[in-house]
Amino acid sequence: MKIWFLRCSQVALCLLIAFIQVDARACTTFQLKHADQVLVGKNYDWMVEDGLIIVNKRGVSKTAYQPTMDSTGLGTPATWISRFGSITFTQYGRELGPGGMNEAGLVVESMGLFRNTPNRKYPEPDDRASILAGQWRQYQLDNFATVKEVIENDATLRIRPQKGIHTHFMVSDKDGNCATIEYLDGKMVCHTGETLPYRALTNNTYALSLGYLKKDSIPEPDMYKSIERFTRAAKMIEKYDPATSAALIDYAFEILKSVSWSIDREWKGTPYQSNTRWSIVYDQKNRRIHFRTHGNPGIRVIRFGAFDFSCKTPVKVLDVTANLSGDVTGKFVDYTRQGNRELIENAFTKTVFFPRYSANQLDVLAEYPDTFVCEQ
């Protein structure tokens, strides 16, 4: 496979990637366990529904994006060869999705952390290799099987400081280990084990959300109902009873429905609606993904075991909004740069507060995956 070198404006791509860190403002993620089942539920709440589900390959050599004019000391970009294949949901371009699951059963999901969080701050430049928040998720899925490995990787990899909405994460492995990961005061802050009594995360810090839950109180105002959604998800997880509740996957979707969210807004005279666009349940033990969308509420299923994750075979994709039902594993098609480009243009155009980028700028983002090399 031939390496394709970026020939367009590096500054333009830097700006685009900075903007796509705008994670959905009202997302909810949780882990639900019973017996030998481990599930992660995720609501993706946003103004745009377009998206691709992408089958990412193992054995692929990658270099994290870095502007050529690096005068701010951002450091050396991370380089790696993917150890695991994964399936991710993406909206603003391949490799830059909000989350997914790998073939080892690791799930990495992300949500926006509110601007008014006083101490939200990514690490300052140091000797560690660096990566943008939008690529941090894919890096973890490419490389690790356990929550412990993800946390320990902070010793060698840091997220680059940047403007825009700040992201925090929930990570879960197939053995039921779970952690929330936030970057506060320039350091990774993890809640896991005994420090994670309720395995849920919305858009406030975990510590703040937990504090309100313990007081059984909802603040006023509660921006995008973040504390209310956290509290509702946490209590429903605690109340699960296999004798009286629905089957675990169905119950996970009940939680997602309970914390779904919608609001009508306006941006510089342009009205738009933000609501729950995708609801996803990752079945980590059985390596299956169940999902539904706002426009197609029927639950669809993806089976990991049916895919060849070798990089010698084409990358596969599925339109998340396709009018399908049931098991959609066999409906994936070969990835194309043009398909990626069309997704990017649709998503950027429908995100009302994004600037209108030139065709050349969007081309740069669409072509970024062409830099990857199959090493198998």
Q: CA distances (Å), 194 to each of 36, 72, 151, 178, in order?
A: 20, 39, 16, 11
Question: Do the domain assignments include residue 4?
Answer: no
The pLDDT of residue 18 is above 80: no
Averaged over 127-136, what is the pLDDT?
Answer: 92
pLDDT digits 0-9 by tens, 39-76 = 999 999 999 999 999 999 999 999 997 654 443 546 78
Picking from 79, 77, 134, 57, the residue whose alpha carbon sits closest to that of residue 344 is 134
Proportion of the chain above pLDDT 70, given as a percent: 90
Which residues, 6 or more positions from 7, have their beta carbon under 8 angstroms from its beta carbon?
A: none
DSSP three-state, residue 278: strand
Average pLDDT, the chain: 91
The pLDDT of residue 19 is above 60: no
DSSP for 222-272, please give it. Answer: -GGGHHHHHHHHHHHHHH--TTTSPPHHHHHHHHHHHT--EEEEEETTEEE
Question: Do the domain assignments include residue 3?
Answer: no
Question: Do the domain assignments include residue 1?
Answer: no
The total of structural domains in the chain comes to: 1
Burial of 220 (0-12, 13-18, 19+ CB in 10 A): exposed
Q: What is the pLDDT of residue 32?
A: 98
Question: Do the domain assignments include residue 5?
Answer: no
DSSP for 88-127, please give it. Answer: EEESSSTT--SEEEETTS-EEEEEEE-TT-TTB-PPPP-S
Question: Do the domain assignments include residue 46?
Answer: yes
Q: What is the pLDDT of residue 182?
A: 98
Confidence of residue 87 (pLDDT cuts 50, 70, 90): very high
152: DSSP letter: H
What's the token pair of residue 278? 């995708």
Q: What is the pLDDT of residue 361?
A: 87
- Which stretch of DSSP H or E encloses residue 150? helix 147-152
Question: Do the domain assignments include residue 253?
Answer: yes
Model-level pTM?
0.93
pLDDT digits 0-9 by tens, 325-367 = 999 999 999 999 999 999 999 999 999 988 888 899 899 889 9
- Give the CATH number for residue 258: 3.60.60.10
Among 27-41, 153-167, 195-209, 271-285, whose mean pLDDT is lowest?
Answer: 153-167
Q: What is the pLDDT of residue 97?
A: 87
Choice between 267 and 164, residue whose per-residue pLDDT is larger: 267
Q: What is the pLDDT of residue 75?
A: 78
Q: What is the pLDDT of residue 6?
A: 36
Whether the CB-CB separation of 48 and 351 falls below 8 Å is answered with yes
Choice between 360 and 141, residue whose per-residue pLDDT is larger: 141
The pLDDT of residue 23 is above 70: no
pLDDT digits 0-9 by tens, 177-234 = 999 999 999 999 999 999 999 999 999 999 999 999 999 999 999 999 999 999 999 9
Question: Do the domain assignments include residue 2?
Answer: no
DSSP for 37-94, please give it. Answer: EEEEEEEEEES----EEEEEPBSEEEE----S---S---PBPEEE--S-EEEEESSST
Q: What is the pLDDT of residue 376?
A: 86
Question: Do the domain assignments include residue 84?
Answer: yes
Confidence of residue 161 (pLDDT cuts 50, 70, 90): confident
Domain of residue 20 covers 10-374
